[in-house]
Structure 1
Amino acid sequence: MTDYHDATASARPSLEEAIEVLCVDDDPDYLELIEASLSEHDDLSIRTETVSSAALDAVDQVDCVVSDYDMPGMDGLGLHTEVRKRSPTLPFVLFTGSTQEELAERFPDDIWTEFLRKDDPKTAMPILAGRIRRLVDHHRTLQAANRSLTAIEAARDGIAVVGPDGTITFANRVFASRLGLEPDDLAGRPWQTCFPDDEVERLESTAIETVRDNWQWTGGCRYASDDGAEFTAQTRVTGLDDGSLVFCLTESDD
């Protein structure tokens, strides 16, 4: 049996709080331009700093860092390294006149870090605002989901969170054990590896499409454990605001 429920009214993380943004640039005039442009957006609260080392004192108080690259003393990537020591997942936008090719060897492979050329301010500033919102919304959603999932880690339901890229970002012990794995074994795997191929096709055409339309999907699913054995479980699939999915394995019948 498959049920479809409107998920719009379901409890979801609030993403409407003002976004605190720290902008770092050694050029005071350009920093003033960034502040003036971003401050036009009601949901963005801007603070500025011309010295990258001094900016580190404010990292714990903001939702996102926007930094120039070419600065005296500590450059933008040096600042990024120091920020990551304090906050491994804090959204960070390197906003610079340099090209990404010029920084390729040093630029981090990090989903919480993005690159944006300064270019024409009329074009670049709206894009910058959008990048900040997207990174912060994703970060807040994942934090809220992780807090909720931590609270139910000991519950009987199996829970797995799938990020917007289709890979599992969190699985509780119940979910992992049903597949013959540890939670860390599932991290980074595509969600499709948990199901037989024909079940993946069915889920993509039914459950995933339903969730994309802001509905919750409930139905029986065939899972494939790590040793190749299959089992059937009643499952709920729900979407989060950033495109993530939550699989909740509620009942099983071998």
Structure 2
Amino acid sequence: MTEDEIRVLHVDDDSELAELVATFLERTDDRFSVHVEPSPTAGFDYLMGNPVDCVISDHNMPGATGIEFLERVREQYPDLPFVLYTGKGSEEVASDAISAGVTDYLQKDSGPDHYAVLANRVSNVVDQARSRRAAKRTKIQLSAIVENITDAIVIIDATSTVRFANPAVERVFGYSPSELVDGPLTRLMPDRFREAHDAALDRYLRTGERTMDWQAVELTGQHRDGREIPISVSFSEFEQKGEPRFIGVITDGETDT
């Protein structure tokens, strides 16, 4: 298997048509490797023992319909791309397929261009599924880093309200994450700096101009017990649901010295 290979399971009781579809798909896109099975039962058995990136299934088959096959597949593989490929479609079949969790739906056609459409549909749903899995893996990895890093990480919105804090904030500032979230960031700084902070944030939001470097800025924070503590902060900006967010990675200067 190569990284780009798309392993397709095609289930259709019409073996001659199934082989024809497999041939056209593999000719249309050299990433495709198509395995054919004649029934939902045989298809499910194959699926249980072999890696598959996408299922293409007929609907009207002896023993079980394509939707019944889809429902069985979804019990074990909720995110596996599944294309219902039927010769006699209807709005009712399409509606039932959507309710059962079908990824895509296409009616059969005899024209050669139709196989290019099918190949495009399959490659699209597989690429999308792979992108979602990659994003999920990245999210898990980033979450593990954020949860275990010794630096405090704080995210604020445009009102300087804390939207996220990792567990390390308690080591640095004495507050648990839940105590900080939805409260003002200024809780973590001495009183004499709070007005200047609010003014600098407001100015940046209006003009986009920075008044200082955002990397490893030496500042003074305030611990929960009232102590002032030296900290080094690196800032960055991102957007979430169309709203600006600011993230600060905070190193406790007392620990480093």
Q: With the length of structure 1 as denominator, give the TM-score of the two structures.
A: 0.57
Matched, 1:84 2:81: no
Residues 81 and 179 (structure 1 numbering): CA distance in 2 closer, same or farther, change over 3 Å? farther
Q: CA deviation at 1:37?
A: 0.3
Amino acid at match of 2:56: V
Structure-1 residue corresponding to 2:25: 38
Once the two structures are superposed, residues 20-47 of structure 1 have per-residue CA deviations (whole angstroms, 9 ceiling, x without a partner) of 0000000011111111101112100110
Matched residue SS, 1:108:
helix
Q: Verify the 8 A CA contact 1:90 1:112 in the aligned structure 2.
A: no
Q: Does the aligned pair in 2 maintain the 1:100–1:115 contact within 8 Å?
A: no
- In 2, Cα distance between the equivalents of 1:70 and 1:20? 23
Q: Secondary structure at the match of 2:74?
A: helix
Equivalent in 47, 57, 78 of residue 59 of structure 1: 47
The one-letter code sitting in structure 2 at the alignment partner of 1:97 is G
- Say yes or no: does 1:138 pair with 2:128: yes
Post-superposition offset of 1:173: 8.6
Using CA pairs under 8 Å that are at least 6 residues apart, name the structure with larger relative contact order, 1 or 2: 1
Question: Structure 2 CA distance, aligned partners of 1:24 and 1:125?
Answer: 16
- In structure 2, runs of 5+ residues without a counterpart are 147-152, 156-163, 167-177, 183-204, 206-234, 250-257
Structure 1: which amino acid aligns with 2:247?
T
In structure 1, the partner of 2:36 is: 48
Classify 1:158/1:20 alpha carbon distance in 2 versus 1 (closer, same or farther; 3 Å): farther
Q: For residues 127-171 of structure 1, what are the alpha-carbon distances to aligned partners after superposition, in whole Å with 9 as ceiling and x for unaligned?
A: 111111111111111111111211221444689xxxxxxxxxxxx
Identify the match of residue 235 of structure 1 among 234, 237, 240.
237
8 Å CA contact retained: 1:158, 1:248:
no
Letter aligned with residue 250 of structure 1: I
Q: Does 1:250 align with 2:250?
A: no
Q: What residue ranges of structure 1 are gaps of 5+ in the alignment?
A: 1-14, 160-171, 181-201, 203-232, 238-246
> Which has more helix, going by share of residues?
2
Aligned residue in 2 for 1:24:
11
What does 1:1-254 align with in structure 2 at a 5 Å threshold?
16-40=3-27, 41-60=29-48, 61-109=51-99, 113-156=103-146, 234-236=236-238, 250-251=247-248
Supply the AA of the counterpart residue of 2:74. Answer: R
Contact 1:68–1:96 under 8 Å retained in 2: yes
Q: How many residues align?
A: 167
The answer to whether the 8 Å contact 2:6/2:53 transfers is yes
| Paired letter, 2:93 | L
TM-score, with structure 2 as normaliser: 0.56
**Separation in structure 2 between the aligned mates of residue 105 and residue 115 of structure 1, nearest angstrom:** 10
Residue 153 of structure 1 aligns to a residue whose secondary structure is helix
CA contact (8 A) 1:92 1:113 kept: yes
* Contact 1:112 1:135 (8 Å CA) reproduced: no
Identity of aligned residues (%): 34
Tell me, in whole angstroms, the C-alpha distance in 1 between the residues paired with 2:154 and 2:93: 42
1:54: how far off? 1.1
Alpha-carbon distance in 1 for matches of 2:79, 2:21: 23
Contact 2:56 2:82 in 1 (8 A): yes
Change beyond 3 A, Cα 1:249–1:47: farther
Structure 1 pair 234–82 and aligned structure 2 pair: CA distance change class (3 A): same
Bigger radius of gyration, 1 or 2? 2
Aligned partner letter, 2:248: E
